[in-house]
Structure 1
């Protein structure tokens, strides 16, 4: 597989490890959980930015 697609050996190890997590063979965050966590972090960042904008608008008027 590495010769055909040319990913590094470390990349393949990472893929195998994540697959084992996704199938329950190893502990850790699944791909879906990682995606959800990333989405929630983006939302929190956005909410904090909105909160800061509202705070500044409140004190500037």
Structure 2
């Protein structure tokens, strides 16, 4: 699985996409930053959710849920290991 893009990079790309000049397309932005168009659209959607403009699960809530699940899963696996 590829490494996720750094949060600062994602925020910069979203900021540029939101503030683009008339006539500048999303395709030009993704080409300049080297990301897939669907990736940018997902980032834009998540930014709307994080800002409260669209219903959904905020990034911080999703990260907290994932980290608590990951910790529990590793604890469950270690409990099943028999030496």
Give the helix-richer structure, 1 or 2: 1
1:3 aligns with 31
RMSD: 1.7
Instruction: Tell me, in whole angstroms, the C-alpha distance in 2 between the residues paired with 1:7 and 1:47.
Output: 36
Q: Report the alpha carbon displacement of residue 27 of structure 1 after superposing the two structures with TM.
A: 1.2
Bigger radius of gyration among the two: 1
Q: Report the alpha carbon displacement of residue 16 of structure 1 after superposing the two structures with TM.
A: 0.2
* Runs (5+) with no aligned partner, structure 2: 1-28
TM-score (norm 2): 0.56
- Taking the TM superposition and a 5 Å limit, the aligned residue runs for 1:27-38 are 27-38=55-66
- Taking the TM superposition and a 5 Å limit, the aligned residue runs for 1:21-60 are 21-53=49-81
TM-score (norm 1): 0.72
* Runs (5+) with no aligned partner, structure 1: none
Instruction: Tell me, in whole angstroms, the C-alpha distance in 2 between the residues paired with 1:50 and 1:10.
Output: 38
Q: Report the alpha carbon displacement of residue 6 of structure 1 after superposing the two structures with TM.
A: 2.1
Aligned length: 55
Q: Report the alpha carbon displacement of residue 47 of structure 1 after superposing the two structures with TM.
A: 2.5
